[in-house]
Amino acid sequence: MAVRDLHVAYGGTRVLHGVSLDFTPGSFTALLGSSGCGKTTLLRSLSGFVPVQSGSIIVGGKDVASLPPEKRGMAMVFQSYALWPHMTVLQNIGYGLKLRGATKAQIAAKVAAMLEFLGLAGYENRKVTALSGGQRQRVALGRALAIDPGILLLDEPLSNLDAKIRMTMRHEIRAIQQRLGLTAVHVTHDREEAMTMADRLVIMQAGRIAQVGTPEEVYDRPATAFVANFMGAENVLPLRVERSEQGARLSAGEATASLANAVSSALPSGDAVAYFRDDVARLDASDATSVDDLIVPGLIAARAYPGGVYRYRVEAAGRQITVDDADRHELGTKVGLRIPLQRLHIFPASEAGSIAA
Ligand SMILES: Nc1ncnc2c1ncn2[C@@H]1O[C@H](COP(=O)(O)OP(=O)(O)OP(=O)(O)O)[C@@H](O)[C@H]1O
């Protein structure tokens, strides 16, 4: 499947501004992005529930953008399950087959196989209202899979489940997708869910694609300030970068550090903004020095114990920085915030825009 220059609008409001993507057969892609960026709209355009303004959706070499949902070879699983409450498990799973003209015997055989596959053997005659959330979502999955789709679209299917079932379902869905060789596209708000289930992440920002890559690429090498921030590097530190023959000199207020040429060649020059995660920095003595790490003077303003490590809010370089540290320190203590340079994601200040504000 591939999407080319997809534009979608609701009334006069444009929501997708020219999205192009390729989906390798058998791959699992997660669409991630802040609320309202257009993830669900993209998924619904693929499925045919939302019409496209322009662009194409290619499945097996054919443009399906103007075909109705049932002619696209795709099935969708919804957050709300969207099961028929007055119907039994058998009737729900068999619904798509019935619409496609399958006989009663064919439906019964397929549903029994599907229930076996999903660990719900013998549940045929149960009303769906008499099932747990996890079981309902499995029935919804069964209904989607019963029509043998090549492409499975998942619209936040795990959001309504409690944490434990959600973990189990992550593994189940991934295993089913791999076993059946389905091409899956999954919309989620949950970064960890996307990272653990998908081969590839697509990070969307305001109706456009900000980055496409493996979970490692997107997490460790974010292409933009937005992606770095969105993937959890929420600490923001304004920096000045001065390039020289030997490398680069970084300064954050009084604090300075040097980077050798090999590592610094990709750095911007001038005013920049660095992003880093809570678990990257450490608390050191206020007079600590280092050649490899940036040590920014700071003051402990708050402390919490979420478990395992302490989480501190440190006032440093005019910013509030969140840092995890194994040791307990008192509020008001002067510290040196030790930040390894290679763990910083650095972008020109002009690119950081409102995220850095
Ligand atoms: N049926 C609709 N009519 C008009 N505008 C809509 C409709 N559905 C969504 N929108 C708007 O389109 C934009 C994208 O919505 P969409 O649901 O695709 O975002 P999303 O990334 O899935 O968000 P969320 O994570 O909150 O579900 C939003 O601004 C939303 O308000």
- CA of 34 from ligand 1 middle (Å) equals 11
Ligand 1 center–CA 346 separation, angstroms: 31
Judge if the beta carbon of residue 189 lies within 6 A of ligand 1: yes
Q: Which CATH number covers residue 190?
A: 3.40.50.300
Q: Which atom of ligand 1 is nearest to the CA of 43?
A: 18
Asked whether 15 lines ligand 1 (CB < 6 A), one says: yes
Give a yes or no: residue 133 inside a domain. yes
Q: Do 212 and 245 belong to one domain?
A: no
Residue 230 within any structural domain of the chain: no
- Residue 294 forms part of a structural domain: yes
Rounded (10°) angle between helices 133-146 and 104-117 = 130
Domain assignment of residue 279, yes or no:
yes
CATH of residue 273's domain is 2.40.50.140
pLDDT band at 354 (very low <50, low <70, confident <90, very high): low
Is 291 found in the same domain as 211?
Answer: no
Residue 33 near ligand 1, beta carbon < 6 Å: yes
Q: State how many domains the chain has.
A: 2
Last residue within a domain, chosen from 225, 260, 278: 225
Do 259 and 239 share a structural domain?
yes
What is the extent of the structural domain holding 67?
2-225
Domain boundary among 195, 225, 255: 225
Could you tell me what percent of the chain has a pLDDT over 70? Answer: 97
| CB of 39 closer than 6 angstroms to any ligand 1 atom | yes
What pLDDT is stored for residue 126 in this prediction? 92
Q: Choose the final residue of a domain: 225, 253, 273.
A: 225
Ligand 1 atom closest to the Cα of residue 42 is 18
- Same-domain check for residues 219 and 271: no
Q: How many helices (H) and strands (E) does the chain have?
A: 11, 20
Q: Which two tokens stand for residue 80?
A: 């709300």
What's the mean per-residue pLDDT of the chain? 91
Q: Is residue 137 part of a domain?
A: yes
Claim to verify: residue 214 and residue 282 sit in the same structural domain: no
Between CA 309 and CA 233 the distance in angstroms is 18
Ligand 1 lined by 36 (C-beta under 6 Å): yes
In a domain, 65, yes or no: yes
What is the pLDDT, as a whole number, of residue 194? 95
**Cα separation, 250 vs 28, whole angstroms:** 40
Domain shared by 54 and 203, yes or no: yes
Answer whether residue 182 is part of any domain: yes
* Structural domain includes residue 200: yes
Is the shortest distance between the CB of 37 and ligand 1 below 6 Å? yes
- CA torsion 210-213-218-222 (nearest 10°) is -50
pLDDT tens-digit map of 133-187: 888 988 998 998 898 899 999 999 888 778 888 888 899 899 999 999 999 999 9
Top mutation candidate among 6, 13, 19, 41 for ligand 1, by most atoms within 8 Å of CB: 41
Judge if 157 and 35 occupy the same domain. Answer: yes
Which pLDDT does position 353 carry in this prediction?
Answer: 67
Terminal-to-terminal C-alpha distance of the chain: 39
The pLDDT of residue 55 = 97
Residues 6+ apart with CB under 8 A from 119: 138
- Domain shared by 291 and 312, yes or no: yes
The answer, yes or no, to whether residue 93 has pLDDT greater than 90, is: yes
For a mutational test of ligand 1's pocket, the pick from 40, 50, 153, 230, i.e. the residue with the most ligand atoms closer than 8 A to its C-beta, is 40
Same domain, 169 and 315: no
pLDDT band at 81 (very low <50, low <70, confident <90, very high): confident
State how far the Cα of 300 lies from the Cα of 251, in Å rounded to an integer: 21
Instruction: Quick: pLDDT tens for 282-334.
Output: 999 999 888 778 999 999 999 999 999 999 999 998 899 999 999 999 999 99
Q: Looking at ligand 1, which residue's alpha carbon is closest to its atom 16?
A: 38
- Mean pLDDT on 219-226: 94
- Residues 231, 259: Cα–Cα separation, whole Å: 25
Kindly state whether residues 289 and 339 are assigned to the same domain. Answer: yes
Do residues 163 and 105 both lie within one domain?
A: yes
46 pocket-lining for ligand 1 (C-beta < 6 Å): no
Do 220 and 241 fall within a single domain?
no
Share of the chain above pLDDT 90, in %: 65
Looking at the DSSP bridge assignments, the partners of residue 329 are: none
Pairing of strands 151-155, 183-187: parallel
Question: Interface pTM (ipTM) of the complex?
Answer: 0.95
pLDDT in tens, 11-58: 989 999 999 999 999 999 999 999 999 999 999 999 999 999 999 999
